[in-house]
Amino acid sequence: MHCDSLPGVKLDFAPMEGISCWPLRRVLFEFFPGADRCYTPFIAANSTHSLKTREKKETDPGHNAGIPTIPQVLTNDPGAFLWAAEEMAARGYPEVNFNLGCPSPTVVTHGKGSGMLADPDRLMRFFDAVFEGLEGKDFFRAEPGKPGIRVSVKTRVGMDDEGAAEALAVIFGSFPFSRVIVHPRLRTDYYRGEPRKEIFRLMYGRITLPVAYNGNITTVREFRELVREFPRLESVMIGRGVLMNPALMREIRGGPPLRADELRLAHERLLSLWLSDIPEFSGVIGKMKELWYYLGPGFENAAKPMKRIRKSRTEAEYRAAVSALFDTCPLLPEEERTWRP
């Protein structure tokens, strides 16, 4: 059931490098259904036209069976993007998403991700080449509701200057994107501070394509305020808010709040999937600790068990610390959780 206030607004789970991988997406769908679409961490498409092992796992149709998944592509090479789009179409995906948001220095210094926002003219030429290359391809369909892969874009509002937003809105409106997902921060903001809502308002008003919002939605109240303020939204993309409260999308749809017992079961399922995917526990524990960075503030008096989780090195130490947290620390009500980006 969708949120009564705006039944047409879709809910999307955001791509987050290193953590929103296929085991987490599967656990969210098994235990906390509510997302309409899930986006993969980016595929770094390049001139070799090949997928890394991690990228093969993320886009394996078996890993994503039953989950409406959209692969995200990072590149500044039109030919590499066209190859990746065709590859994802062959795997049965209905859409690919182009990454214009990643602020990582290793990405930006190569003129990719949000680094492409520094030169709007070059960005326009890139999309000219992409959509010219897509025109007439059997695997591509620009029209909604027809078979074939479509292209969406996820963007920030500029590299280091809010003044770029208007030019970006013109660029996006010049091409048949299925949606434009706007994260209203500059690259130089990284993920800090409040989103730049007034710049989002400008782009929302300029872009006639379907527009989605992404950034700092961590509670049902924040979601409802957003969709009242921007009633034309096609969708709202949530990332860290779902890590903080895995049942957030369910709650937005009017479902029950998060329970500690179901979270404990979901944690066990997630741990087992990661252990099946990564042979060494040393490769798993970093991902679990990152997840606890978001989950931990949702528990009452959790300082000691959280410290044990952070210090754990072996699987036995980690499992004992997590059991201690669940056994001794109740979940806080949503309004008392202290984590904020």
For residue 16, what are its two tokens? 């987050």
pLDDT at 272: 97
For residue 277, what are its two tokens? 């995917």
How far apart are the C-alpha atoms of 14 and 97, rounded to whole Å?
11
Share of the chain above pLDDT 70, in %: 97
Cα separations in angstroms, 235 against 26, 116, 185, 213, 238:
21, 24, 18, 7, 10
pLDDT at 247: 96
pLDDT at 183: 97
How far apart are the C-alpha atoms of 230 and 219, rounded to whole Å?
17
For residue 136, what are its two tokens? 């007439």
How far apart are the C-alpha atoms of 212 and 236, rounded to whole Å?
5
Is the distance from CB of 142 to CB of 135 less than 8 angstroms? no
Comparing 4-18, 75-89, 317-331, the range with the smallest average pLDDT is 4-18
Place of tokens 């874009």: 153
Which ranges in 42-163 belong to alpha helices (H)?
A: 53-58, 78-90, 105-108, 120-134
Place of tokens 């087992």: 272
Dihedral of the alpha carbons of 340, 20, 49, 278, in degrees to the nearest 10? 130
DSSP string of 151-196? EEEEEEEESS-TTHHHHHHHHHHTS--S-EEEEEEEGGGTT-S---
pLDDT at 279: 85
Listed by start position, the domains of the chain span: 10-252, 260-336
Task: State the average pLDDT over residues 204-208.
Answer: 96
For residue 141, what are its two tokens? 């369909």
Asked if the model's pLDDT at residue 146 lies above 90, the reply is no
- Kindly report, residue by residue over 223-233, the tens digit of the pLDDT: 999 999 999 99
260-277 and 281-295 helices, crossing angle to 10°:
150
* Burial of residue 167, with CB atoms counted within 10 A of its CB: 0-12 exposed, 13-18 middle, 19 or more buried: middle
Model confidence at 3, in pLDDT bands (50, 70, 90)?
very low
For residue 181, what are its two tokens? 């997902």
Q: Is 306 helix (H, G, I), strand (E, B) or coil?
A: helix
10-252 fold = TIM Barrel (3.20.20)
The number of residues in the chain equals 341
Give the CA count within 13 Å in the CB-facing half-sphere of 293. Answer: 11
Share of the chain above pLDDT 90, in %: 90
pLDDT at 5: 45
How far apart are the C-alpha atoms of 181 and 336, rounded to whole Å?
30
Is the distance from CB of 161 to CB of 168 less than 8 angstroms? no
- Kindly report, residue by residue over 101-142, the tens digit of the pLDDT: 999 999 999 999 999 999 999 999 999 999 999 998 999 988
Task: State the average pLDDT over residues 156-166.
Answer: 93
**For residue 333, what are the contacts with CB-CB under 8 A and spacing of at least 6?**
none
Q: What share of the chain is helix, strand, coil (3-state, %, to 5)?
A: 45, 15, 40
